[in-house]
Structure 1
């Protein structure tokens, strides 16, 4: 039986999931990021990432629609994904999608929540655009020593496109891998 989602917040839209651990009843929902819950996203990002995001980042998050979501576990905000669309040089029919953040609080990892958020992003990236450019590829950067993240993205069809030396100059391990998944081949 698919668990039902009962999101009481009037600012969040919810979807259901078929994932259910053995002997556990829970509700999982993806909610829109709105000005009313932007503070929750900021708090999550402070806990999840060693980077301070700017006011411009949060302003852009409010403008990408389905490409920025908060995930709720039993009505508790436990993770989020934030992307940005980028124009492709020389193309008016194609954009790329950059995953700036995707994270789940440690106690809620290994429950399929990160996969649910990433699958939502990829499903929406595959949809033909009703207006404007299509998404040609989805990409992101992962710190070179983050084996868990590398395996997670590879499991979802991403491939290493390049190694970026000193991508994170503020960290001890400064190298990163750029991972990408092609959604639509360029003409």
Structure 2
């Protein structure tokens, strides 16, 4: 992965139904954290495992990079469905970031993290 962009798309009958975009953020110690910038699946295609497959492939790619120690994501504080989704995939609930979202209400986000093992 070499700390570049990692984007994956999910298609069904030539229709784009889901996507995940991840980037690496280098840390002062020379290691990196992978940040999930976005993960989404069109509503009619949810609960089919598409989001889980996109996330699993991303986590597997990150785990193959010895420089990536952790994966993290911001989720709006009231998005219980997304929080549960990430927790089911081994993410831990972390700190709340006040006023993270400028155009959403509520504007606060929680950070969920998953440590990777080498």
Confirm or deny a common fold (TM above 0.5): yes
Which secondary structure state, in structure 2, belongs to the residue aligned with residue 180 of structure 1? strand
In 2: Cα distance, 1:76 partner to 1:128 partner: 31
Please report the RMSD computed on the Cα atoms of aligned residues, expressed in angstroms: 1.4
In 1: Cα distance, 2:117 partner to 2:96 partner: 23
TM-score after normalising by structure 1: 0.59
In 1: Cα distance, 2:49 partner to 2:43 partner: 12
Identify the residue that residue 45 of structure 1 maps to in structure 2: none
TM-score after normalising by structure 2: 0.91
The reply on whether 1:144 has 2:81 as its aligned counterpart is no
Shift of 1:77: 1.1
5+ unaligned residues in a row in structure 2: which ranges?
none
Identify the residue that residue 81 of structure 1 maps to in structure 2: 20
Conserved 8 A contact 1:135-1:184: no
The 1:172–1:126 alpha-carbon spacing in structure 2 relative to 1, beyond 3 Å, is: same
Shift of 1:75: 2.7
Which secondary structure state, in structure 1, belongs to the residue aligned with residue 111 of structure 2? strand
Which secondary structure state, in structure 1, belongs to the residue aligned with residue 40 of structure 2? strand
- Aligned pairs for 1:10-29 within 5 A: none
Which secondary structure state, in structure 2, belongs to the residue aligned with residue 151 of structure 1? helix
Q: State which of 88, 107, 110 in structure 2 corresponds to 1:155.
A: 88
Conserved 8 A contact 1:159-1:179: yes
In 2: Cα distance, 1:82 partner to 1:172 partner: 23
Say which structure, 1 or 2, has more relative contact order (CA 8 Å, 6+ apart). 2
5+ unaligned residues in a row in structure 1: which ranges?
1-62
Which structure carries more strand by proportion? 2
